[in-house]
Amino acid sequence: MSGDLMAIRDDFPILQREVNGRSLIYFDNAATTQKPKVVIDAMTDYYQSMNANVHRAVHTLAGESTEAYESCRENLRKWFSAEKVIFTSGTTEAINLAAHAWGKHNLNKGDVVLLTEMEHHSDIVPWQMLSREIGVELRYVPVAEDHTLDMELLRASMEGVKLVCFVHTSNVLGARNPVEEIVSISKKHGAKVLIDAAQAVPHSRIDFTSMNIDFLACSAHKMCGPTGIGCLLVSPGTFLEMEPFMGGGDMIETVTLEGSTYQKNEHKFEAGTPKIAEAVGWDAAINWLSKIDLQFEHERLLDMARHTANRLRAIPGMTVFGQHTDGDSAVVSFIHDKVHPEDMARLLDARGIALRTGHHCAQPLMEKLGVNGTLRASFYLYNTQEEVETMLSTIESIVERFS
């Protein structure tokens, strides 16, 4: 199937849909990807044939459900070359988990957490909340005029830093940050590292262990899996420094009226009935993605993004953000000086073309760019060059109409 675009497209039932009388063209993949039929079927089969709670009973359905649920964790361990995989509801909960289960117990007043101006809100707000609670200092690495991180200021900001949190790939600019360099600088200063990899995991295999980082957060729904599930990868040593922040069933060893003891494995951070069907769906998505040449697709999609950016820049009044260099993701954010992003998005939707508008949960970056929001086209495995040409010709006609 790898490299066979039509075979890939055939796996996605939603692509058969029409929107406003036109064949759907879906370019909102940075927000969420569509789901192949094997993922939909796996979740349906779970509910139809084995629905039961996990880790608790010895009957057949419970055993099958537990095996299916834990199969996803084992698959993720192999996919990411990671030992500790904690299930969460997504990237946002994963980062909050790191803040509460590790940060709250290992950071003190005056310790520094280093962030960047291009972070998603999910990698800003939890640390702001922790700052208010225990008095940690937050510093932000600025975004330079060329839409990359100011690495000189990053180096100059490392004094007293205990944790460095940064986005692997920007959901607005598509920029892949110099991950290896940032990790090296951080480790030389004795800081732990958390990477928001939500936008990276759909496009490349990440080896968590070889990266020498402490936390990695991601979501299933960005990589053809279901919504409502993600994970926090944690290095073994850092895992031992974490304390549970949510108590309840399944995360305990013993409970008495006087106190409780907790599990030693990842279940320690997974209180209550977990996201079983979602794990089954994510497992199916990983198996499906394993058949795709992600490097080939990354290069194909990045070429589409470069072509899109170049065509848009040729339109009078259009501003395009990002460089789209090797390693960047296939995301193109843009604005026009006469057509409001929401107006353009609605006109595109009238022709069956789905783009994102708004601040993309990155308001500090929007402020740095001097805009309130952008239009964003983001491409994924099932998108074609023909779809791109349709979008571009439509945008050109819209701009001409309002100029």
User: Quick one: average pLDDT of 323-339?
Assistant: 95
The pairing of beta strand 161-167 with beta strand 112-116 = parallel
**What pLDDT sits at residue 403?**
76
* Closest by Cα among 361, 383, 385, 380 to 29: 380
Domains of the chain (ranges, CATH numbers): 5-27+293-402 (3.90.1150.10), 41-289 (3.40.640.10)
Strand, coil or helix: 90: coil
Given 165, 218, 231, 361, the catalytic residue: 361
DSSP per residue, 15-53: GG-EETTEE-EE-BTTT-----HHHHHHHHHHHHHT---
Contact assessment for residue 72 and residue 61, using Cβ atoms and an 8 Å cutoff: no
pLDDT computed for residue 402 by the predictor? 86
Q: How confident is the model at residue 3 (pLDDT cuts 50, 70, 90)?
A: low
Q: What is the pLDDT of residues 5-48, one digit of tens each?
A: 999 999 999 999 999 999 999 999 999 999 999 999 999 999 99
pLDDT at 231: 98
CA distances from 293 to 8, 156, 202 (A): 12, 39, 12
Residues sharing a CB contact under 8 Å with residue 295, sequence separation 6 or more, in sequence order: 204
Backbone angles phi, psi at 240, to 5 degrees: -70, -20
Annotation says 361 is catalytic: yes
Can you give the C-alpha Rg of the chain in angstroms? 22
Phi, psi of 184, rounded to the nearest 5 degrees: -60, -45
pLDDT in tens, 348-366: 999 999 999 999 999 999 9
Burial class of residue 63 (count of CB atoms within 10 Å of its CB; 0-12, 13-18, 19+): middle
CA–CA gap between residue 152 and residue 142 (Å, rounded): 10
What's the CA angle centered on 200, arms 82 and 117, to 5 degrees?
110
**Predicted confidence (pLDDT) per residue in 361-398, tens digit:** 999 999 999 999 999 999 999 999 999 999 999 999 99
Mean pLDDT, residues 338-354 taken together: 97
Indicate whether 122 pLDDT > 70: yes
The pLDDT tens digits of the residues spanning 198-241 come to 999 999 999 999 999 999 999 999 999 999 999 999 999 999 99
What backbone torsions phi and psi does residue 176 show, to the nearest 5 degrees? -85, 120
Reply yes or no on whether the pLDDT at 56 is more than 90: no
